[in-house]
Amino acid sequence: MFRVVIAVVLLFFHTLSFGNSFDFSFNNDAGALKIFTPVGSTLPIQGNANFHGGFLADKVNNYILEAGLEVKGEQGEDAGGWLALGAKALVGIIHNYPPGTTQITESIMIGGELGYVFPAARRFSVAFYDYFGPGATTFSDADRAYQWGMHLDYDLNSGAKIYVEYREADFRMTATRQNTTLDSGTYVGIKLALM
């Protein structure tokens, strides 16, 4: 537990120093922190590109570390939604699978997000995302990886939003050829932009 607290504190101070926004979410079993930094000015990418790094820990000492790049299409004031494409590296540490063992899973995943802004209430939006890591890009104790979720957001102002999200991260383990769920559940969270 001490290592989890230290990692969260370090990620928080990294956000203050280098990131322009962060996202904190939690439920009864787990907590997660993500840091976002725009990269459009340093990479030749059209649209809104963000690099992110994240950390999730649950109460049974399972962990997910991730880092990735997401490119979102240009959005105007009257945009009714968005499409984003991305790639990420995901590392999972699974304790007690099977009991008494620790499994390490690593994957390079591709996917994206599709979002919709409600025209009658523009502060509300809903989005679905899905990422997949095939056998060729998944290593260690797993040979496939999946991560998906759906969230409903409410914009408090231009720099903050709150949300409710269902998310799931699954790995197909090499030894058993069965899927194990490393993260699954409904989270509440807040995204804050640092000015």
What percentage of the chain carries pLDDT values higher than 70? 83
Above 70 in pLDDT, residue 45? no
DSSP-based three-state secondary structure for 138 = strand
Write phi, then psi, for 102 (nearest 5 degrees). -125, 125
Q: Which residue has the tokens 């383990």?
A: 173
CATH of the domain at 21: 2.40.160
Per the CB < 8 A criterion, the answer to whether 55 and 33 are in contact is yes
Above 70 in pLDDT, residue 65? yes
Give the closest residue to 37 by CA, choosing from 21, 60, 24.
Answer: 21
Report CA-CA distances (Å) from 59 to 28, 29, 31, 100, 166.
9, 6, 9, 16, 18
- Cα torsion 162, 13, 92, 146 to 10°: value is 40
**Per-residue pLDDT, 1:** 44
User: pTM for this one?
Assistant: 0.84
Above 90 in pLDDT, residue 97? no
How many domains in the chain?
A: 1
Average pLDDT value over all residues in the chain = 86
Which residues 6+ apart lie within 8 Å of 80 measured at CB?
116, 117, 119
Host domain of residue 135? 2-193
Above 90 in pLDDT, residue 38? no
Q: CA–CA separation, 113 vs 21, rounded Å?
A: 19
